[in-house]
Amino acid sequence: MKLTVEAKRVRAKQPPSALPVNQIIESDRILNPLRWAGVFMERWEILMYDRVDYWEACFFRWGEQHEHLTGDSLEEARGKAEQRIQLLEYGELEN
């Protein structure tokens, strides 16, 4: 059964346990689209999502580290992610 965009918005407000996984992912793509993706320092991937009221940076190094940060703009959230990655790379902070 295909849901309309409005039905997906309503269902997306339910707790994740109330929805099948494929509908959570599908709703997330519609309501919070990926706006930017890139690689930083050759081995970190950064994904930037528009979360309506804020921007979310999801950054990770496959199999080793995965974190999220937020900001008021794409540039702010991405800048925070890049700073955190640099700190992790140079060992200035504990994981």
Q: Decide if pLDDT at 18 tops 60.
A: no
DSSP-derived letter for residue 70 is E
Angle at the Cα of 9 from the Cα atoms of 8 and 13, rounded to 5 degrees:
110
Residues 71 and 94 in one domain: yes
Record the pTM.
0.63
- Indicate whether 2 pLDDT > 80: no
pLDDT of 8 over the 90 cut: no
In this structure, the answer to whether residues 44 and 80 fall within a common structural domain is: yes
The answer to whether residues 56 and 80 belong to one domain is: yes
The total number of structural domains that make up the chain = 2
- The string of pLDDT tens digits covering residues 23-60 is 444 444 455 689 999 999 999 999 999 998 999 999 99
Q: Domain check: are 39 and 20 in the same one?
A: no
Strand order in the sheet with 44-50: 34-40, 44-50, 55-61, 65-71
Do 39 and 10 share a domain, yes or no? no
State which residues form the domain around 5.
Answer: 1-31
| Domain co-membership, 22 together with 41 | no
Of 24, 25, 2, nearest to 14 by C-alpha is 24
In terms of domains, do 42 and 81 share one? yes
